[in-house]
């Protein structure tokens, strides 16, 4: 099934978000709204999450919509924490936890869409309950947890 115009916008902006998010992590090992890359990531992430709420490829409201809502909540929580001293010396950890969680929330539906759409004539996965898709989610989660642990250790070592 071809992408709708909203699906195309969602996909393009989502790619911008993921690329800028990974660039930010690679360059500075932390996520922040203070940098141009951070602003790009968070704005693109919000647009991607908001547009996801209008896409109903798999029927009605589903887990992808739930992840979109979690993404919006995580971005706004991260912004509030980053702009205040709510958690004092722990702010940088909670800010990065919120923002980094959005990477996970991007990757789960991205993997789902790729595996259920390609190759176009015979997708790798035909069901959301396919064991291969579930294993893919597990790998994404494990990689995310490793990345998050590495990020938190790095943040702890900063003065």
Q: What is the pLDDT of residues 107-123, one digit of tens each?
A: 999 999 999 989 989 99
Choose among 139, 111, 10, 105: nearest CA to 97.
Answer: 105
What rounded mean pLDDT belongs to the chain?
94
What's the rounded mean pLDDT across residues 66-93?
A: 96
* DSSP H or E stretch at residue 57: none
Confidence of residue 62 (pLDDT cuts 50, 70, 90): confident
Q: Is the pLDDT of residue 57 over 80?
A: no
Report pTM: 0.93
> Which of 14, 38, 18, 19 minimizes the C-alpha distance to 28?
38
Check if the beta carbon of residue 13 is closer than 8 Å to that of residue 68. no
pLDDT at 1 over 90: no
**Average pLDDT value for residue range 57-85:** 91
Contacts of 10 (CB under 8 A, 6+ apart): 48, 51, 52, 55
Q: Could you give the CA distance from residue 50 to residue 10 in angstroms, rounded to a whole number?
A: 9
Position 58 scores a pLDDT of: 62
pLDDT at residue 2 is higher than 80: no
| Whole-number percent of the chain with pLDDT over 70 | 97
pLDDT band of 59, cuts 50, 70, 90: low
User: Two tokens at 133?
Assistant: 């898709």
Query: Confidence class of residue 125 from pLDDT cuts 50, 70 and 90?
Result: very high
Structure tokens at 21: 């998010």
Q: Are 117 and 111 in contact (CB under 8 A)?
A: no
Rounded distance, CA 80 to CA 86, Å?
A: 8
Average pLDDT over residues 122-140: 95
How big is the chain, counted in residues?
159
d(CA 150, CA 33): 20
Cα–Cα distance between 12 and 21 in angstroms, integer?
A: 14
Tokens of 144: 């995310």
Tell me if residue 62 falls in helix, strand or coil: coil
């Amino acid at each position: 099934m071809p992408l709708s115009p909203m699906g195309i916008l969602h996909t393009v902006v989502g790619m911008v978000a993921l690329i800028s998010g990974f660039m930010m992590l690679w360059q500075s090992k932390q996520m922040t709204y203070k940098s141009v890359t951070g602003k790009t990531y968070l704005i693109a992430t919000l647009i991607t999450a908001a547009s996801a709420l209008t896409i109903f490829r798999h029927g009605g409201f589903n887990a992808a919509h739930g992840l979109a809502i979690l993404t919006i909540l995580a971005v706004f929580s991260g912004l509030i924490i980053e702009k205040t001293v709510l958690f004092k010396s722990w702010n940088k950890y909670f800010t990065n936890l919120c923002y980094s969680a959005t990477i996970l929330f991007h990757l789960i539906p991205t993997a789902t869409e790729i595996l259920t759409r390609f190759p176009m004539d015979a997708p790798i996965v035909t069901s959301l309950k396919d064991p291969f898709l579930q294993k893919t989610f597990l790998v994404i989660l494990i990689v995310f947890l490793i990345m998050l642990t590495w990020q938190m250790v790095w943040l702890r070592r900063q003065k």
